[in-house]
Amino acid sequence: MTDTSAPLRKDAARNRQRLLDAATELFATQGLGVTLNDIAHHAGVGVGTAYRRFANKEELIEALFEERFREVADAAQRALADPDAWTAFVTFFERYLQMQLQDRGLTELVTNAPVRHEKVNRMRTEIAPMITEIVERAKRDGHLRTDIEATDIIFMTIGLTAVMDRTRQVAPDYYLRLFDVYLDGFRAEPSKRTALRVPPLTVDQTHEVTTKS
Amino acid sequence: MTDTSAPLRKDAARNRQRLLDAATELFATQGLGVTLNDIAHHAGVGVGTAYRRFANKEELIEALFEERFREVADAAQRALADPDAWTAFVTFFERYLQMQLQDRGLTELVTNAPVRHEKVNRMRTEIAPMITEIVERAKRDGHLRTDIEATDIIFMTIGLTAVMDRTRQVAPDYYLRLFDVYLDGFRAEPSKRTALRVPPLTVDQTHEVTTKS
DNA sequence: GAAAAGCGGATAGTATCAATCCGCTTCGTG
DNA sequence: CACGAAGCGGATTGATACTATCCGCTTTTC
């Protein structure tokens, strides 16, 4: 990526990697709101070191998330290669949601990408047509009801990630329950329902996650 | 509410009302994050005046939202009085979501009430059993599938308000489209589907609402 | 072993917001 | 109508949170 000129000194290269690792972890667990200072301390290096390697947080985000988006694109590619359009549809969105469960930063970027992130926006516009095709294929195939558009599926994921963010601590997989309900609403043949895979939250759990501090 | 002792001077009473009106509007349109300074300026009074009437923002929130929650409780009460359990179910949640569409502050309080708001929490625990009963009644009645719990419906609303928050500027009613899909997934008799009431968002609209600043 | 490269973290700069204080204005009662 | 009480405005202080730099010291490299 950045190998122009200056070959880094051994300790500097090691610290750079530590910073990337720390940033990956913190973006995933806390979201993109973490500061470069947080990242530096978590990496066990001084703040100065962080700022010498990366001018600011944006640069770090661009460096790390191109790879994440690449994974999404790969999953979409694989879905398009699957001969079964409905399985492909379900599997892709499950995978997509799971990636977001494991990386809050990814969710923030897909639901709310600041325009300044060129790379991120380029990846988004690369992925969008693949998602549309996954959806259209499931419709053509007769498994997905035809009055649903790809944009609806996108908003479904936005809603589900909001639920995910609340329930993550208490029942990380809960969102799959609502995803199953959505699938039952999306299916062209409504009688082909399957059982919900995960249990509901109890009233106490619900109360807990809707009450702060 | 606060009529203990001191009858306010005429100008003071007028300013107090202006502050309440401004707060109502700003909480509804911007959410609870607005500052007392914002509210004071929007009311056309000085900051000092705001702080003389209300010790802090919390006090103002308590004063205003007890009424809002009362409206939710009333809607639930009316739903429980409706002889048709499914209509009651659909109508209540539509009304509940619409109230949230019109008041971001309400959404913030129901999805994330800070524990310090005693009144708000009291109202929430007053409303919760009514919601449970609306859901249970629809199940007993044979219209709502029996593997769904009231907590699932709560999380549905949390997801839908997240969608609402993104689409409000571009197509305020869009969330109803996903609500309809949910209803199709929730119905005990899946063949009784109805058409989606609102159109999808275009790709451009979707791109617009998932891109910031 | 000397120069270059890198390091740490104290610190300066910036922004946002809560809350107060006090000189001035308005109210309303005698 | 005058005068004391009540109210007013908003500049200002203080707290918090974060960004980014600077410089004396350390490590690497040749």
Q: What is the pLDDT of residues B83-96, one digit of tens each?
A: 999 999 999 999 99
pTM, to two decimals: 0.95
Listed range (A78-82, A114-118, A167-171, B122-126) with the worst mean pLDDT = A114-118
Q: Which residues contact A155 (CB under 8 A, 6 or more apart)?
A: B163, B166, B167, B174, B178, B201, B206
Report, as an integer, the average pLDDT of A2-6: 54
The band of A16, judged by pLDDT with boundaries at 50, 70 and 90, is very high
Q: What is the mean pLDDT of residues A197-210?
A: 97
User: What local confidence, expressed as pLDDT, does residue A74 receive?
Assistant: 98
Question: pLDDT of A153-163, one tens digit each?
Answer: 999 999 999 99
Average pLDDT over residues A27-50: 97
Which residues of chain B carry a pLDDT beneath 70? 1-6
DSSP A211: E
Closest CA of chain A from B49, distance in Å: 30
For strand C, which nucleotides have at least one atom less than 7 Å from a protein CB?
Answer: 5-11, 17-22, 26-28
The answer to whether A101 and A179 have CB atoms below 8 angstroms apart is: no
**CB neighbours of B119 closer than 8 A, spacing ≥ 6?**
B62, B65, B66
Closest CB from B116, B158, B196 relative to A162: B158
Q: Is B118 left (phi over 0), alpha (psi -120 to 50) or beta?
A: alpha
D28 C1' to A60 CA distance, Å: 26
- pLDDT at position B3 is 46
What percentage of chain A has pLDDT greater than the value 70? 97
Is residue B163 within 8 A of residue B205, CB to CB? The reply is no
Q: Which of B148, B158, B192 is the best substitution to test chain A (most A C-beta atoms within 10 A)?
A: B158
What pLDDT was estimated at residue B4?
Answer: 52
Q: CA A184, CA A198: separation in Å to the nearest integer?
A: 15
Over residues A72-76, the mean pLDDT reads 98
Contacts of A128 (CB under 8 A, 6+ apart): B203, B207
| CB of A52 nearer than 7 A to strand C | yes
Higher pLDDT, A113 or B213: A113
Q: What is the pLDDT of residue B7?
A: 86
